[in-house]
């Protein structure tokens, strides 16, 4: 894996000089007119490998051996890239009153820097494929290739890039656990009334950050960022708490040529890890999440089915999301 670099040149053209740059004798361009930002090249093959590796353990359902093995591998892998890694164990009550044990995994880069960006994704997979067209599959786990592993895969590749190229800001990557243990569709109505059964790891971290008084300028959550034909509309909880960040990140994506996916449209209101980070930790965090009204569920076609496996992953989708987040980080 070569640390490819390319230059993103943003040339500010001012009225009056826009037609005057062809003069060969007087060809020195005033450097203030040209900002050159060196932008690392996101490696989608590397991100894809990280997604495939997560799936190789089996569904990362809390309480299973696959979950335990994945936690170990995640900690090991990100430790090779980060300055500090903290594993945060916690217990949480799930929708039916039972207890589950989870682990948030937090990796910090340049921990001495005051100015910080928080990146997140959930690493657990859902125990119930309750949106599968076949009811026999509702009690089966979701492989969670797009729903979970895609965001983690993109962030692991970003972690690798951060170990090679030093940004101006500090970065914290949080892999949230127990995002996807929310009340299943087949539960009775009274159980479904409690919205706080989702994002249990993010709820815990937001009330117990890995560092006391932890602050970040803003956060970006990645959820379902690996399926084909991606459509990232501006999610409404993100717009409520951090519209300036949403608009900034979408503009970055559009500048890179990814406007076909990062559309200037309002999405749904999606209760996800970022909601609790905004509400409880009071850190403005946005969610980049595949949202598509056409599919019925609002999400990608295989959402919460047994078919959310490696075959749904599109390397180009991983690339455009990863490159967008990298561009945002290295512009700060």
Name the minimum Å distance from CB 68 to ligand AHN: 21
CB 93 within 8 A of CB 66: no
Work out which of 149, 237, 270, 326 binds ligand AHN, going by CB under 6 A.
270
Would you count residue 271 as binding ligand AHN (CB under 6 A)?
yes
Would you count residue 147 as binding Zn ion (CB under 5 A)?
yes
Nearest-angstrom CA–CA distance, 154 and 161? 11
CB 151 within 8 A of CB 122: yes
Residues 6+ away with beta carbon under 8 Å from 236: 266, 267, 268, 269, 270
Angle among Cα 97, 99, 103 to the nearest 5 degrees reads: 140
Would you count residue 272 as binding ligand AHN (CB under 6 A)?
yes
Would you count residue 227 as binding ligand AHN (CB under 6 A)?
no
CB 152 within 8 A of CB 98: no
132 or 147: whose CB is closer to Zn ion? 147
Q: Which stretch binds Zn ion (CB under 5 A): 176-184, 231-239, 269-277, 317-325?
A: 176-184
85 or 121: whose CB is closer to ligand AHN? 121
Would you count residue 130 as binding Zn ion (CB under 5 A)?
no
Name the binder of 223 from ligand AHN, Zn ion, none, CB < 5-8 A by kind: ligand AHN
Instruction: Give the E-state strand segments of the chain in sequence order.
Output: 5-11, 34-40, 84-93, 99-109, 116-122, 170-176, 218-223, 232-234, 262-266, 285-289
Return the structure tokens found at 280. 């409880």
Q: Checking DSSP bridges between strand 99-109 and strand 84-93, what pairing results, if any?
A: antiparallel
Residues 6+ away with beta carbon under 8 Å from 33: 11, 12, 13, 14, 17
Name the minimum Å distance from CB 274 to ligand AHN: 10
Q: Which stretch binds ligand AHN (CB under 6 A): 36-44, 106-114, 266-274, 310-318?
A: 266-274
CB 221 within 8 A of CB 232: no
Would you count residue 292 as binding ligand AHN (CB under 6 A)?
no
Would you count residue 223 as binding ligand AHN (CB under 6 A)?
yes
Work out which of 130, 157, 172, 180 binds ligand AHN, going by CB under 6 A.
180
83 or 196: whose CB is closer to ligand AHN? 196
Would you count residue 124 as binding Zn ion (CB under 5 A)?
no
Q: Checking DSSP bridges between strand 5-11 and strand 34-40, what pairing results, if any?
A: antiparallel
Q: Which of residues 191-210 bind ligand AHN (CB under 6 A)?
A: 198
The dihedrals phi and psi of 177, each to the nearest 5 degrees, come to -100, 165
Work out which of 124, 130, 172, 180 binds Zn ion, going by CB under 5 A.
180
Name the minimum Å distance from CB 55 to ligand AHN: 16
Binding site for ligand AHN (CB under 6 A): 147, 180, 182, 198, 223, 270-272
Binding residues (CB under 5 A) for Zn ion: these are 126, 147, 180
């Amino acid at each position: 894996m070569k640390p490819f670099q390319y230059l993103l040149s943003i040339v500010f053209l001012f009225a009056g000089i826009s037609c005057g740059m062809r003069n060969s004798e007087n060809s020195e361009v005033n450097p203030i007119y040209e900002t050159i930002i060196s932008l690392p090249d996101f490696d989608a093959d590397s991100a894809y490998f990280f997604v495939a590796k997560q799936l190789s353990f089996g569904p990362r359902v809390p309480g299973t051996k696959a979950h335990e093995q994945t936690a170990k591998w995640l900690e090991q892998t990100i430790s090779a890239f980060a300055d500090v890694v903290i594993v945060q164990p916690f217990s949480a009550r799930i929708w039916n009153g039972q207890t589950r044990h989870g682990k948030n995994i937090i990796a910090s880069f340049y921990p001495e820097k005051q100015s910080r960006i928080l990146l997140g994704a959930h690493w657990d997979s859902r125990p119930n494929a309750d949106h599968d067209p076949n009811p026999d599959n509702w009690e089966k786990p979701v492989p969670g290739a797009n729903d979970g592993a895609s965001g983690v895969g993109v962030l692991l590749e970003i972690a690798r890039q951060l170990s090679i190229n030093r940004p101006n800001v500090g970065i914290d990557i949080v892999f949230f656990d127990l995002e996807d243990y929310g009340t299943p569709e087949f539960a009775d109505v009274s159980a479904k009334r409690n919205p706080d059964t989702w994002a249990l790891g993010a709820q815990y971290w937001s009330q117990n950050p890995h560092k006391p008084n932890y602050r970040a300028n803003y956060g970006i959550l990645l959820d379902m960022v690996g399926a084909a034909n991606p459509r990232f509309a501006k999610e409404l909880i993100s717009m409520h708490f951090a519209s300036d960040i949403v608009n900034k990140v979408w503009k970055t994506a559009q500048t890179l040529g990814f406007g076909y996916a990062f559309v200037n449209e309002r999405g749904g209101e999606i209760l996800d890890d970022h909601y609790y980070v905004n509400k409880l930790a009071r850190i403005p965090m946005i969610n980049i999440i595949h949202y598509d009204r056409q599919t019925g569920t609002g999400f990608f076609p295989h959402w919460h089915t047994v078919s959310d496996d490696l075959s749904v992953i599109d390397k180009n989708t991983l690339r455009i999301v990863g490159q967008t987040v990298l561009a945002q980080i290295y512009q700060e």
